[in-house]
Amino acid sequence: PMFPDASGQLMWIVFGLSMIAVVYTSLVALVQSDMKKLIAYSSVAHMAIVTAGLFAFNQQGIEGALIIMLSHGVVSAALFFCVGVIYDRLHTREIDRYGGLAKNMPAYALFFMLFTMASIGLPGTSGFVGEFLSLAGIYEASSWVAFVCTTGIILGAAYMLYLYRRVVFGELTKDDVKAMPDLNAREWTIMVPLAAVALWMGVYPESFLAPMRGDVTTVVARLAPAKPAGDAHLAAGKAKPAAAHGEAAHGSSHAGGVQ
């Protein structure tokens, strides 16, 4: 950032707003009956994790935030397109008007499932990499902020699975829904590249992380003076000086006894 000192002073305010946003928008998304509104609120929740990751001021947090933004640009666009596909056929976005689309639109159901899982953060999809790195960076700065952001991710799984279940599964009872055709050639042409990118980012994220790593390292170095001490530091692999000294003394006394 242009003002690292100011960012360091205001980071806890940003953390607080991010925690409120990720939980509040997730709860609002849970009660939506309009598919487009639900996905829009999920976008706000994801961006709250982005801001928290950026203000963690470490490599993992910033890289994760950037990957989430890249993933969100693909997955959110794909989810809105999925809504648009069935809206063109039935001219309504109400969740209750659908149900059982897996029976007459299996290809659509498959793509919709992939993008839903990517939004949730299923391993192997683009959403997992960004959320994992962001949470790792946030945890290094504050375990409590990481805990609240994780709660938002769990709520995200709840409302996205709720949306998918109501639209795709269930009995196919409505006549107008039965008449809905599966994806046409134009829709396939749009769906396939979006699905390929979402899977590519999840299977081989290094191809996206490597180009940004140098710039992220430079930003982290600039932010080092403002970086918080944090409350969660792993110390695995570090020898304890006191224990090492005690073992050395014990070995010396044992050697003297042998002589």
Distance, CA of 153 to CA of 131 (rounded, Å) = 9
pLDDT digits (tens, 9 = 90+) for 239-253: 555 554 455 445 544
Q: Which residue has the tokens 């683009």?
A: 126
Q: Of 140, 100, 130, 99, nearest to 15 (Cα)?
A: 140
pLDDT digits (tens, 9 = 90+) for 102-151: 888 999 999 999 999 999 989 999 989 999 999 999 998 888 999 999 99
Distance, CA of 97 to CA of 173 (rounded, Å) = 10
**Degrees (nearest 5) of the Cα angle 127, 129, 132?**
100
Question: pTM of the predicted model, to two decimals?
Answer: 0.82
Query: Considering the chain, what is the average pLDDT of its residues?
Result: 85
pLDDT digits (tens, 9 = 90+) for 29-50: 999 989 999 999 999 999 999 9
Asked if 168 contacts 101 with a C-beta cutoff of 8 angstroms, the reply is: yes
Residue 101 in this model has a pLDDT that exceeds 70: yes
pLDDT at 240: 54
Residue 186 in this model has a pLDDT that exceeds 90: yes
Strand partners for 27: none
DSSP-derived 3-state class of residue 34: strand
Asked if 172 contacts 103 with a C-beta cutoff of 8 angstroms, the reply is: yes
pLDDT at 258: 46
Q: Place 170 in a pLDDT band, splitting at 50, 70 and 90.
A: confident
Distance, CA of 172 to CA of 107 (rounded, Å) = 16
pLDDT digits (tens, 9 = 90+) for 71-87: 999 999 999 999 999 99
61 φ/ψ angles, rounded to the nearest 5 degrees = -60, -45
Q: Place 228 in a pLDDT band, splitting at 50, 70 and 90.
A: low
Distance, CA of 60 to CA of 51 (rounded, Å) = 13
DSSP-derived 3-state class of residue 94: strand
* Chain centroid, CA 235 distance in Å: 27
Q: Residue ranges of the domains in the chain?
A: 4-258
Cβ of 238: how many Cβ atoms within 10 Å? 7
Residue 226 in this model has a pLDDT that exceeds 50: yes
